[in-house]
Amino acid sequence: MVFFSSGDDISKEWAPQAVKSGAHAIDNSNAFRMNPEIKLVVPEVNGHLLDENSKPQVIANPNCSTIQLVVALKPLADAFGIEDVTVATYQAVSGAGLPGYDELLQQTQNYQDMDHEPKAFPKQILFNCIPQIGGFSEDGFCSEETKIMNESPKILGLPDLKVSAFTVRIPALNSHAEAVWVTLNKEVSKIEFINALGSFEGLAIFTEDYPTPLEASGEEPVFVGRIHQDKHNKKRWLMWVVADNLKKGAALNGLQIAERLFS
């Protein structure tokens, strides 16, 4: 078994060679995620795909913000069916790697200077929010939004699911948060909604308080809080989804894939 977490080009070159040599290749890049022949896996959601073929293969680890979203959506899809999903993300600087993490810390140390030259981000991150993660395409979506919209239906096994995403970088050090609007196929009560989430592996539900990125950092579950019904559509529900993007959003999910392969 080989873990790849070093970028698309290296993964494209070396992951197939690892497979030819008899190893499973678990890849954390974007290189293979939307390849229809490659499995894109979140074990709690579609881990059964790993049981279908145990021979060496490339297995794609999804985008960090996609992972926490689909863990929260899967039990709802199974219990009630989902018509569409809208998500706005609030993503920590650790998602940009060590340069992004260090840039926020450095700017914080000189917080009285209100004019910082950005390097890891397109604009100053201190005391700011940046509505761009990755480059923009001609349709106005940035690459992070496209990943969420494309990967989620594939992982959930719902190719016709409509997902709309808007991603924002915020000056939090770690853990991503998401405001999610999900339209179900039928009307359900709040108790039914919460019970569906509460019985699902990998989720921790807040019924009174709500989770924050600071509290989720270093933790393994995907946290869900602020569950409430839309005032204009009784089939639509709102929820707040938070997870450590370096753990469940990356390393932990990869380890869970490996555990599933070799259990």
For residue 147 the two structure tokens come to 């990943």
Claim to verify: residue 139 and residue 42 sit in the same structural domain: no
Active site residue 64: yes
Per-residue pLDDT tens digits for 197-249: 999 999 999 999 999 999 999 999 999 999 999 999 999 999 999 999 999 99
**How many CA atoms does the CB half-sphere of 45 hold within 13 Å?**
29
Average pLDDT over every residue of 52-79: 95
Residues 143 and 82 both lie in one domain:
yes
C-alpha closest to that of 259 among 91, 74, 47, 89:
47
* Residue 116: pLDDT band with limits 50, 70, 90: very high
Do 188 and 105 have their domain in common? yes
70: containing domain: 64-245
pLDDT tens for 135-174 read 999 999 999 999 999 999 999 999 999 999 999 999 999 9
- Active-site residue, selected from the candidate residues 24, 48, 64, 142: 64
Do 44 and 149 belong to one domain?
Answer: no
CA–CA dist 233, 184 (Å, integer): 10
Residue 220 β-bridge partners:
none
pLDDT at 68 (0 to 100):
98
Nearest to 249 by CA among 161, 174, 164, 192: 174
Read off the pLDDT band of 93 (50, 70, 90).
very high
pLDDT at residue 51 above 90? no
Q: Which of 116, 142, 176, 228 is catalytic?
A: 176
Tell me if 243 sits within 8 A of 175, measured CB to CB: yes
57 and 97 fall within a common domain: no
CB 173 within 8 A of CB 84: no
Furthest CA-CA distance within the chain: 57
% of the chain surpassing 90 pLDDT: 95
129 belongs to the catalytic site: no
Residue with tokens 């993300």: 89
Whether residues 76 and 117 fall in one domain? yes
